[in-house]
Structure 1
């Protein structure tokens, strides 16, 4: 299972990468929204984790773009990580096509549970 992790905070990206790799996932990393878009155009992933606030493009902008393009990744689950817990932010994320919304701070176990349940759902016909 391939997962793309896009977050501009290198420490958090490292934590996410290590946590998911320990669970057996293959992880690709992006430092900002534009890099995430490039990777999503070049490779196939099973799931993408986007930080809301990133340079170049926000996680919501990347998700909107992804849902509107003809890439193999168009329908994969998208997890949005954010410190923004307001309802209007959640609505904006849902409208963009975000599958799950994880509010910072979160536990690595919470994230793994979310990843596993989304990947299980994606496998179902």
Structure 2
């Protein structure tokens, strides 16, 4: 949580338009939002400033979303239990299963509507909508 009581969400996606879209939705829903371009940057940001939720894409350069989740969950730190919502264009059942095995709490197929994104973020952050 931020000092003003907002749940903090880290959006991890290499597409700037996706990050902007998610930021707009989440800030309107009352969340504080930070961004990272890939899994490596996300781990660095979380070590400096933990988040209440991570929303992560699967396909990214340098470190993809599933590798990021595995690395996050392997840490012997409190941030290892940070809830994670995976969003991807990959829609096959095995894609959701792979995300779950990597440590995702939930999997959404893009495009994600504003209502669905805000509702899942609130649920995973444990805040009322």
TM, length-normalised to structure 1: 0.91
d(CA) in 2 for partners of 1:47 and 1:33? 14
User: Given the alignment, which residue of 106, 115, 128 partners 1:109?
Assistant: 115
- Checking the alignment, whether the CA contact within 8 Å between 1:41 and 1:71 is kept in structure 2 is no
SS at match of 2:81: coil
Q: Deviations over 1:22-58 (max 9, x none)?
A: 1121111001121111112211110000011111111
Q: Unmatched 5+ residue regions in structure 1?
A: none
Residue equivalent to 1:47: 53
> How many residue pairs align between the two structures?
121
Unpaired runs of 5+ residues, structure 2, are: 1-6
Q: Which residue of 1 aligns with 2:22?
A: 16
Structure 2 counterpart of 1:58, from 33, 39, 64: 64
4+ aligned runs moved over 3 Å, structure 1 = none
Q: Which residue of 2 aligns with 1:30?
A: 36
| Pair 1:68-2:71 in alignment | no
